[in-house]
Structure 1
Amino acid sequence: MPELPEVETVRTYLDGHLRGRRIENVAVGLPRLVKNRTPEDFAASLSGCAFTSVSRRGKYLILHLDAPWDLLVHLRMTGSLLYGEKKDEYGERFVHLVFTLDKGYLFYRDIRTF
């Protein structure tokens, strides 16, 4: 599990890359990662939203949106949130969520989730 300094490093990295970026589409490759909604509802509710900032509460990352809700993420044991310019930048084998942004992509990748 990432320790607190690593989570803070991820927060800083994401805040610099995501601030002001708008979500155009969300592809859910592993439905059980989405809690309290269906994957279709999750994707529909995030489409069109823009990131305003990224904060942290303990080991949880809070991706603030210009919407009435925010996106709460826990990296679990080996998960990572990565920003990339190309859709296949990190491969597809362990990428379970892909957020298509107005410029670039946000990937949730976890090598221990099958």
Structure 2
Amino acid sequence: MNEAWSGFTNVASDEAHVDAQIGYVDGNVTIYSVYENDHPQRKYEVGLNYLKGDMPRRAEGLIREAAMSGHRSSEAAYYWVLATLSDRSFDTSGRTSSRICRPRRRWPWSSRTTRGGGR
């Protein structure tokens, strides 16, 4: 039978930020922290860590956000495409392929990125 463990009390106040509150860990834990005001390089690095941690959806968003904020390189483009395609089957409806094949709409590396999907 499992009994409730009450070994510690933790109180957060005065606009405190708590990333994790952990009572017991059996194994390795990785905490990925990125904040809105972080530099694009930091967001890119955390995005890569998400990708390495098998969380491609979050990686895709962070790498794209970093690129939209100025962190553009062929390496970043490669990892963004990798994250976009990871853990997805190739769907015949074209939703996944349209994310890659229509750079004006989706690619943060396009020199003429448009909003609203114009050509």
TM-score range (shorter-chain normalised) is under 0.3
Query: What TM-score, normalized to structure 1?
Result: 0.24
Q: Which has the higher contact order (CA 8 A, sep 6+)?
A: 1
Query: What TM-score, normalized to structure 2?
Result: 0.23
